[in-house]
Amino acid sequence: MSKVVLITGASSGLGKATAEHLNSLGYRVYGTSRDPKRYADSFPFPLLALEITDEESIQHCVATILEKEGRIDVLINNAGVGITGPMEEIDIKAVRENFSTNCFGPLHMAQAVLPQMRDQKKGLIINITSIAGAMGLPFRGVYSASKSALSIISESLRMEVKSFGIQVCTLAPGDYATDIASRRYHAPVLEKSPYKKVYQHSLDTMNTHVDAGHAPHELALEIEKIITHTKVNVHYHQGPFMQKLSVILKRILPANQFEKLIMNHYKL
Ligand SMILES: NC(=O)c1ccc[n+]([C@@H]2O[C@H](COP(=O)([O-])OP(=O)(O)OC[C@H]3O[C@@H](n4cnc5c(N)ncnc54)[C@H](OP(=O)(O)O)[C@@H]3O)[C@@H](O)[C@H]2O)c1
C-alpha cells in the first residue's frame, strides 16, 4: 500500500520538488499552499489550502486527507519563511509572525496528525529546519532561533512518541536555489542605521549563497531516503559541503574561535 504523505508548503521550492518526486514514485502525496487557487491545476498532486498559523485551517487540512485516505503516514513540515534584520531594530511583530510560521505552525501540525498516527501505531514526521538553526548568524538571528527551537522541539517529541511506533527527525538544509529570499521578511536597511553597511553586506552575501545553492531535487532525493529507512536518525544535514562542515565546527571549536570564523565570513 502506498504511503500517504502530507507536505506543507508544496507550491514552490523544496516542498514542490519533494512533492513532485514522491508523487512520481507512487506515494499518495498531498501538498499545501495558503492559496491553492493561485496555482490552479498546475500540480500533479492535490494542493490543499493551509495557513499554518491558523488552527482551524490546520484541522481542516488534516481532516480532508483523513476523510479521503483514512490515514497520514508521513508529515513533512516544510512550510517556512525567512527573516532578516539587526536584532536592535527588528520589529517584534515580525519576529512573532516568523516564529508562528517556522516553529509553532509545525508543532501544531504534529499535534493534528499524532492522534491518528498513534492509532495506527506508526508514522513519520520530518521537520525541515535549517543549517542556519545550528548557530546564531548575524542579521539572521530570528530565523536561526525559530529553526533551532523547532529542532529542539523535534528532539523532545521524538522521545515522547517513540513507544507509539512514531519516528520524528529534522532535516536541516543548507542553501538550495529556491525563491525563498524574495519572500523573506527584510527589516529595512535604514539610511541612518549604525548597521547600514554591515547589514547590507550580509544581505548581499546571503542572497548570493541561496542563488548558488544546490538544486531542490537533490533534497527531494534525501527525503525519499529518509522515508524508506526503517530506523530514522534524529538530525540530518544536507547542502553545500562548507555549510555542513560549519555544523561540525560549531560543535568542536571553542565558541570564540567559531565566532571569529563567522564574523570573518560576514566581514564584521
Ligand atoms: N532554500 C533554502 O536555501 C533553505 C535553506 C534552509 C532551510 N530552508 C527551509 O526549507 C523550507 C522550504 O523553503 P523554500 O526554499 O522551498 O522556500 P519557498 O519556495 O519560499 O517555499 C515556502 C513554502 O511555504 C509556504 N508557506 C509560507 N508561509 C506559509 C504559511 N504561513 N502557511 C502555510 N504555508 C506557508 C509557501 O506556500 P504559499 O506561499 O503557496 O502559501 C511555500 O510553498 C522552509 O521551511 C525554509 O525555511 C530553505
Domain layout of the chain by residue ranges: 4-265
Residue 207 has pLDDT above 90, yes or no: no
Average of pLDDT values for 166-194? Answer: 94
Q: Residue 1's pLDDT band (boundaries 50, 70, 90)?
A: confident
pLDDT at 211: 77
Which CATH architecture best describes the domain 4-265? 3-Layer(aba) Sandwich (3.40)
pLDDT at 139: 96
- Pocket of ligand 1 contains residue 167 by CB under 6 Å: no
Q: Residue 181's pLDDT band (boundaries 50, 70, 90)?
A: confident
The residue whose CA has the least distance to atom 19 of ligand 1 is 13
Residue 110 has pLDDT above 90, yes or no: yes
* 143 catalytic residue (yes or no): yes
- Closest atom of ligand 1 to 147 CA is 47
Between the CA of 9 and the centroid of ligand 1 the distance, in Å, is 6
Residue 216 has pLDDT above 80, yes or no: yes
- Pocket of ligand 1 contains residue 98 by CB under 6 Å: no
The total of other beta-carbon atoms located within 10 Å of residue 262's CB is: 16
> How long a stretch of residues is the chain?
268
- Pocket of ligand 1 contains residue 247 by CB under 6 Å: no
Phi, psi of 150 (to 5 degrees): -65, -35
Average of pLDDT values for 85-108? Answer: 98
